[in-house]
Amino acid sequence: MLSGSQQRKKLIMMEIPSVFGPRDRSITLYEGINHHPDPDSIFRSKTVAQLGCGNGWISIALTEKWCPSKVYGLDINPRAIKIAWINLYLNALDDDGLPIYDREGKTLLDRVEFHESDLLFYCRDNKIELDSIVGCIPQILKPSPEAMSKIITENLSKEFGNIFRTSGPLRGFVEDQFGLGLIARAVEEGMAVIKPTGTMIFNVGGRPGQGVCECLFLRRGFRITKLRQTKIMQAANTDISALVEFEKNSPHRFEFFMGSVGDQPISARTALAYMKSGGHVSHALSVYSCQLRQPNQVNKLIEILKNGFHELSRSLDLSFADDSSAHEKITFLVYLASFLNANKPNPCQPPAE
Ligand SMILES: C[S@@+](CC[C@H](N)C(=O)[O-])C[C@H]1O[C@@H](n2cnc3c(N)ncnc32)[C@H](O)[C@@H]1O
């Protein structure tokens, strides 16, 4: 027999200062999820992980809306996990403390769990296979002078996106320098625990430049769809002088916007000058939905590269203009990698003399 009321209209959320609750970044992520063309296909009756769940509001809200079979809300901050569990109970029980059942006769407590976890460690450790991953994790854009001078002396590329294509072993390193290291790690961990046709949704702050951000997914063999883009105001006291220094010695330009509506990107140098004259600048925040183009092939390739070809995997670039060239080239790469892995001679004969 069902007890409690069938549906609660609004989420009830407890917040404490040391735990993230709804803010620009996570609200944009949730809006992005709502803009997905077919959210039922990625959430309804599915197994989902939410990375960087904070006080748990997104995990709870998406469960209320799409009834996944299980959502694992994960955060590295143990306090966040405690608050998230409290919020789960606040929303799972009615004012009399009775469980609220959904249309399938289940409660939020049946569908959601929160765990302390560094990215997807919990799922990996418990051999949980996921259908979808949703991520709202930090980006810290703090280029170190030492790392930057290395990039600069390597004299890399005009378009910064090209750094990923030309810098070989520097790539992982470059993603870190652009504050994208944690997202890159989450994507790679995700590939190991998600079903081949699974979907990952991440929000990414656009200061490194759209090309750099998108390359993070594309070079790992994903097809991406931008679900939503908004602008986030840059706090007036944020020091962007390190970015200006980097631009002085490189062709790369970071991406800011004048005010909250400008649509022409400006460099860090221009943004700094504008801020000094009393102006406000913003940067883009985009929500991407990503699916592997050829999941079985790409995963096979990654597995082989992990096995003694680590440097190669850091310089892997599987971004192709269209599906047919991706298909042809990825298939060939897997074939080639399998030969190398088996210590067989290179199957590609050199041209005749
Ligand atoms: C921008 S907040 C997002 C919070 C939450 N999604 C919300 O809706 O408010 C980023 C969250 O990522 C968490 N985080 C940072 N590094 C992490 C890691 N390595 N693994 C898991 N969570 C992490 C932080 O503790 C924080 O709660």
Question: If you average pLDDT over residues 212-232, what whole number do you get?
Answer: 94
Q: What does the pLDDT read at residue 347?
A: 63
Q: What does the pLDDT read at residue 94?
A: 93
Cβ(177)–Cβ(148) below 8 Å: yes
Which residue type is seen at 115? Answer: H
Which residue type is seen at 8? Answer: R
Q: What does the pLDDT read at residue 266?
A: 96
78 lines ligand 1 (CB under 6 A): no
Residue 48 Cα distances to 88, 118, 246, angstroms: 16, 16, 39
Q: What does the pLDDT read at residue 322?
A: 85
Work out the number of other CB atoms within 10 angstroms of the CB of residue 247: 18
Band of pLDDT at residue 299, cut at 50, 70 and 90: confident
pLDDT in tens, 32-75: 999 999 999 999 999 999 999 999 999 999 999 999 999 999 99
Cβ(298)–Cβ(306) below 8 Å: no
CA of 182, closest atom in ligand 1? 19
Q: Taking Cα atoms as reference points, which of 104, 105, 32, 44 lies closest to residue 71? A: 44
CA of 67 to the centre of ligand 1 (A): 23
Q: Taking Cα atoms as reference points, which of 292, 238, 229 lies closest to residue 263? A: 229
Residue 75 Cα distances to 25, 27, 50, 55, angstroms: 16, 17, 8, 9
- ipTM confidence score: 0.95
Residue 56 Cα distances to 43, 236, 250, 287, angstroms: 16, 29, 41, 19
Using N-to-C axis directions, what is the helix angle for 295-306 and 323-341, rounded to 10°?
A: 30
CA of 285 to the centre of ligand 1 (A): 16
Cβ(63)–Cβ(71) below 8 Å: yes
Token pair belonging to 302: 């990654």
Pocket test for ligand 1, best of 15, 18, 20 (most atoms within 8 A of CB): 20
Cα 218 from Cα 207, distance rounded (Å): 18
CA of 108 to the centre of ligand 1 (A): 21
Q: What does the pLDDT read at residue 1?
A: 33
Band of pLDDT at residue 312, cut at 50, 70 and 90: confident
pLDDT in tens, 159-205: 444 444 444 444 455 677 788 999 999 999 999 999 999 999 999 99
pLDDT at residue 327 greater than cutoff 60: yes
Cα 158 from Cα 292, distance rounded (Å): 28
| φ, ψ (nearest 5 deg) of residue 146 | -65, -45
Cα 250 from Cα 279, distance rounded (Å): 25
Alpha-carbon Rg of the chain, whole angstroms?
A: 22
pLDDT in tens, 113-161: 999 999 999 999 999 999 999 999 998 776 665 555 554 444 333 444 4
pLDDT at residue 212 greater than cutoff 70: yes
DSSP 93: B
Domain 24-135 sits in CATH 3.40.50.150: yes
Q: Taking Cα atoms as reference points, which of 322, 222, 308, 208 lies closest to residue 268? A: 208
Q: What does the pLDDT read at residue 340?
A: 80
Query: Sign of the C-alpha dihedral, residues 224, 230, 234, 235?
Result: negative
285 lines ligand 1 (CB under 6 A): no
pLDDT in tens, 100-115: 999 999 999 999 999 9
Q: What does the pLDDT read at residue 168?
A: 43
258/178: higher pLDDT: 258
Q: Taking Cα atoms as reference points, which of 31, 272, 1, 214 lies closest to residue 134? A: 31
Q: Taking Cα atoms as reference points, which of 88, 109, 94, 89 lies closest to residue 8? A: 94
